[in-house]
Chains A and B, each alone.
Chain A
Amino acid sequence: MKKALSLLLTLCLLLTLFPAALAEGATPMKFIQIAGKEPGYDAATARWNELHPEAPVTVDYYSSVYEVIEASLGIGSPEYDIIAIDSPKVGDYGLKGYTADLDPYVGSVIDTSVYLDSTLNYCYYDGHLTALPITAGISFLYYNKTLIEQAGIELREITPENRLTFEEIEEISLKVLDAVDPNRDQGYSGLAFSQANLIYQMLQLPTSMGEKGLVDDQDLSSTLHTDGWRNAALYYQKLIDEGVTDPSLDNALNFEKFMSGKCAFMLGTISFLSMVSRVQDSEIVITYNPVFADYSIPAAPTGSWCVGVSAFSQNKEKAAEYVQFICGGEGHDIYIQATNGFSAVKADAEAMLADENADYAMRIGTYEVAHAAVSRPVTPYYTTYETVMNEFWRNVASGADVDEATEAAIEAYAIYMQ
């Protein structure tokens, strides 16, 4: 009996060693990604790991992903093989030497022909491919039909040719607030910018007035000393002063407030689509981006999240193969299905536009990508630009004099560009 038990235990021990023997020789890779995208990347990566046990990938998520990338790649650490890159940062990371040149892998593990040209354009630095796009990003106007009807307002039909204006949004928001929160003490808002005070989204205001996001990447004065930028900042301040917009809420809180039914409108990115009912007659409705009445320029900032290979990776070719898998291969299909995002792959976009039975929100998004998208500044100094401009919008939101905030931003940019 004792001998039999010993034999059984020995067999069990040997069995536990067996998987380790199978994994021998595996070259694990690490992927750094922004938090909030777990469903898509986890599902796609799980499939990759099934197909490629010799090169399993683990994904690390950080809300402060930019700063972690700076800390890690700034010292040349080989810890991460694959990195998330927001499209405006492609040039920035290329300039700093963080990203590997993917040109040697085009034609072997990478196929650039599958991607939309408008999204692939972001992915080059100094003529070299350094990333691949995983999505095509755009913003929508979301509104709470029930809340607006509670104020006795019936919104007119909104079409691409007859969009809602920012001025109308302000007027409707005030009527809604007067109806549901007359004393302004119940925490209701009229319009939420899902990425409040961040240039990533606030750019929509000045570009909707015909201005550029960045005219000269060495000096901000030619960009900010324009009527459009000034008026955009004044409009934003007015919304805050009237109580229409609460600038103190971050991305997650703004979305939660809107979804809790305490906000009439939200300008939000497509990342909320998967969390919002897509049925036309639901409480939450998705529609085309608004315009300013005097300009009628639909100008939703667009960009793609991209994925690149770290210049310090010890396994660049396999990492490039993973990047192609997740951006344009089977992993991409899994990612898009899990996140309900907009594909950066040509075939997917063409199929969407051709499908009359496709979801209305997806059709609106695809239309906006094609007709209302304005690209964010593509500059190698995007990190500096973004940090300075975020501070500009925060100053505007805090009630600072717009001209003072403008001069402070111009001065700061000049100093940090030294």
Chain B
Amino acid sequence: MLRVKKPVPYLMISVACILLLVFRVIPLCSSLLGSIYINGAFTWDTFDKLFFHDAIFWKSMGVTLRLNVVLIPVQLVVSLALALLVNHELKGVGAFRTMFMTPFSISGVVNCLIWGMLLAKNNGVVNGLLNSFGLPSQGFWSDKNQAIWCIVAESTWAGTGYWMIFFLSGLKGIDSSIYESAALDGCTPFRRLVSITLPLMKRTVLFVMVANTTANLLMFTPMKTITNGGPMGSTNTLMYEAYKSSFQFNKPARSSAIVTVLLVMIALVCALQFFLMRDRDEARVKKGGAAK
């Protein structure tokens, strides 16, 4: 019989593990199974229809990729920039940190309702401002070419404060003596950022990239609250399409299949990020070579 010398730590983490199992792992497995086990038999029909006879799925895939190819880098760069800005011990910097963090403390639905009103085509605040300067009103949420970028703007405003906290934490972990040495050697601020700050924050950057990618690929609130996937399907991401499949069209198998595709996409993107961000020296040493 397996004897556990120190059972208390395992008991402590068991609650979190059970919650993960019940609310993440089991639903995930159920969803995977739901896409291939239908009416008592295993079948690939759902995926066959999805990949080869479902134009809406491919349009949603395009929307999801277009949105995230822009949104993820923008959020990373902006949140890193904000973290670098507030990483100075100046009087009043705390107020700025609070201001940057505040959007994240507001409920996602409320955020979306506010942005919905700001960028409304009729009687929207932004269009009112544009009109007061003699500029024409914009469609924003009502324009199929603009709606997706409105989501980028809303998500960036809402989320960068959160990611900024992680970057700030990573920055605080860098020994200031390294910067002092670099300054003595005549290092420029840009060089300092590229050669010292970013390499030393690699793990933090990797964590934020993976978490940010997952969150954005699964984004749902703006589509449900503001655009309903429109106009003309221009904001109909895979996550929203999966929701519609299940709750509006009562096609749970199709919904499970879409969610499975999303899961594979997230796994591939995260694997790629891990590969690109791997510590090459560590890998070389592990293989038996010497570090450069």
Contact = CB atoms under 8 A, between A and B. Distances in A.
A383 interface: yes
A405 interface: yes
Given A248-B121, A416-B249, A399 B56 contact: no
For B49, B233, B247, the residue with the greatest tally of chain A CB atoms inside 10 Å of its CB is B247
A240 B229 CA distance: 20
A400 B54 contact: no
B230 A67 contact: no
Interface string B137-150: 00101111000000
Nearest to A240: B122
B232 interface: yes
Nearest to A189: B122
B55 A415 contact: yes
B231 A395 contact: yes
A418 interface: yes
Interface residues of B, dominant DSSP: loop
Contact of A74 (B122, B141, B231, B250): B250
A34 to B, nearest CB: 16
Contact of A399 (B54, B123, B139, B251): B139
A202 to B, nearest CB: 15
B248 A400 contact: no
A329 B112 CA distance: 45
Contacts of B244: 387
A415 to B, nearest CB: 5
B3 interface: no
A391 interface: yes
B247 A67 contact: yes
Contacts of A418: 49, 53-54
B228 interface: yes
B250 A415 contact: no
A59 interface: no
A220 to B, nearest CB: 14
Contacts of A416: 249, 251
Nearest to B142: A398
Interface centre among A397, A398, A400, A415 (most CB of B within 10 A): A398
Contacts of A408: 232-233
A398 B252 contact: no
A70 B250 contact: yes
Q: Which 8 A-B pairs have the closest CB atoms?
A: A398-B231, A398-B142, A387-B248, A67-B247, A246-B122, A400-B232, A416-B249, A394-B230
28 contacts: A70-B246, A70-B247, A71-B247, A74-B250, A240-B122, A246-B123, A248-B120, A248-B121, A248-B123, A383-B249, A390-B228, A391-B230, A394-B228, A395-B232, A398-B139, A398-B141, A398-B143, A398-B144, A398-B232, A399-B139, A399-B142, A405-B232, A408-B233, A411-B55, A415-B53, A418-B49, A418-B53, A418-B54
Interface of B: 49, 53-56, 120-123, 128, 131, 139, 141-144, 228-233, 244, 246-252
Given A248-B122, A398-B141, 20 more contacts: A67-B247, A67-B248, A70-B248, A70-B250, A74-B250, A74-B252, A240-B122, A246-B123, A383-B248, A383-B250, A384-B249, A387-B249, A391-B228, A397-B142, A398-B143, A398-B232, A399-B142, A415-B55, A415-B56, A418-B54
